[in-house]
Amino acid sequence: MAKIIPFKAVRPTRDKVSLIAARSYDSYTPQQREARLRDNPFSFLHIVNPGYKYDQVISGKERYTLVRNRYQEFKEDDIFKKDETASYYVYKIVNRDGLVFHGIIAAASAQDYEDDIIKKHEDTLKYKEEIFVEYLKTVGFNAEPVLITYPDNPELETIISKAISVRAEYEFTTTYRDTHYLWPILDTAIIDKISAIFDKMDTLYIADGHHRSSSSYLLAKTSKEENKNHKGTETYNYFMSYLIPESNLKIYEFNRLVKDLNGLKKEEFLIKLDAHFRIENRGLEYYKPSKKNHFSMYLDGNFYSLYLRKDYYKIENALDGLDTHILFKLILDPILGIKDLRSDKRIDYSHGKNDLAYVKTVVDRGDFKVGFGLVPVTTNEMKQIANEGLKMPPKSTYIEPKLRSGVTIYEF
């Protein structure tokens, strides 16, 4: 049974939350980061990039210590304050496309992660885990929740609907034109009811944040080993999560872009594709696939549709039927010679919100030789792969909502 608990969040004061909230550091261009750091002294980017204060690029343990120092300074200046009582936090986002997301920010159990009650669908990289564990041990907080999804639950929907019917504690719109709302749940009876509802759930699924969750689990494991008086109730046994119903997830595809044809001429490449795909030249028509096992390809000024020849491809498990895996097994690896999707510099990715116009643009200007478009992975596919203990290829899903760092902070 899933153990989801309330916690005492460290939060910005209401007047500064819109100034503090920040997207993930890597989502900004260098020019955008510079502008925000220069013009906004309250941005959470000042905490995660503490070297800006000294006009220095600082990394490793020294950076982690300075991150902790900047965070403590924000607390000392009363920019951040810790809630006096443990709460659940109902959080709603209305994004610039008009999509509405709602769920509950809470603390999820690291033991549930180990016991596979919280299931995963992506592989993690050991070196990234080790770096992030060292970071967490030094700074002592989570600032961005892991996105976890749960089966739609009418009782939780009723609780959330009632919570959002009154004025929010936070309501702010970002320069990205997303509007964020937060309501703390303070009523102990409702808190107990939320805990009991999650306790009846057999399985939760990580939607986004696999490295954050795996690193939090490793932190809990090492902290337990180092603490002779470990009781299991320590804050390091949990990590901050944003839990939303399955029907509320929005999953986009990640299109693939490849720099060359691995020494093949266009005609040779198309002949090799013909072994597993029915190919049709669509000319300048922006062909976007609409069903599984159909792919779009842009090559040499033309769009192509690629339909998998299912008689020649065996599907034995959930991963075999996943389009990103099919593309890797039949094209990227055997024909284009791309063995490692995480490290090969010849491949890049573009999430579906950029659309195929972006794929066409970067291929036409010579940045890439060929681009492939896919349909989005479904929530059921993601769950089935996790249930079978399998892992998707990297960059299989681009999932919304995307949360801001610094709105709620979990200390351990």
Enumerate residues 6+ apart whose C-beta is below 8 A from 84: 8
Question: Structural domain boundaries of the chain?
Answer: 4-251+400-411, 254-375
Question: Which residue from 119, 92, 85, 87 is spatially nearest to 4, judged by alpha carbons?
Answer: 87
CA distance 335 to 72: 53
Question: Which residue from 362, 375, 226 is spatially nearest to 296, judged by alpha carbons?
Answer: 375
Exposed, middle or buried by CB within 10 Å (0-12, 13-18, 19+), for 8?
A: middle
How many other CB atoms are found less than 10 A from the CB of residue 169? Answer: 14
3-class SS string, 322-387:
CHHHHHHHHHHCCCCCCCCCCCCCCEEEEEHHHHHHHHHHHHHCCCCCEEEECCCCCHHHHHHHHH
CA distance 64 to 50: 9
Task: Write out pLDDT tens, residues 233-264.
Answer: 999 999 999 999 999 999 999 999 999 999 99
pLDDT tens for the chain, 412 residues long, are: 999 999 999 999 999 999 999 998 888 999 999 999 999 999 999 999 999 988 888 889 999 999 999 999 999 999 999 999 999 999 999 999 999 999 999 999 999 999 999 999 988 878 889 899 999 999 999 999 999 999 999 999 999 999 999 999 999 999 889 999 999 999 999 999 999 999 999 999 999 999 999 999 999 999 999 999 999 999 999 999 999 999 999 999 999 999 999 999 999 999 999 999 999 999 999 999 999 999 999 999 999 999 999 888 999 999 999 999 999 999 999 999 999 998 899 999 999 888 899 999 999 999 999 999 999 999 999 999 999 999 999 899 999 999 999 999 999 9
CA distance 392 to 385: 7
CA distance 324 to 373: 10
CA distance 311 to 9: 55
Instruction: Dig out the tokens for 66 from the structure.
Output: 């300075």
Q: 0.85 exceeded by the pTM?
A: yes
- CATH fold, domain 4-251+400-411, is 3.90.1530
Enumerate residues 6+ apart whose C-beta is below 8 A from 193: 155, 159
Task: Write out pLDDT tens, residues 51-64.
Answer: 998 888 888 999 99
Exposed, middle or buried by CB within 10 Å (0-12, 13-18, 19+), for 246?
A: middle
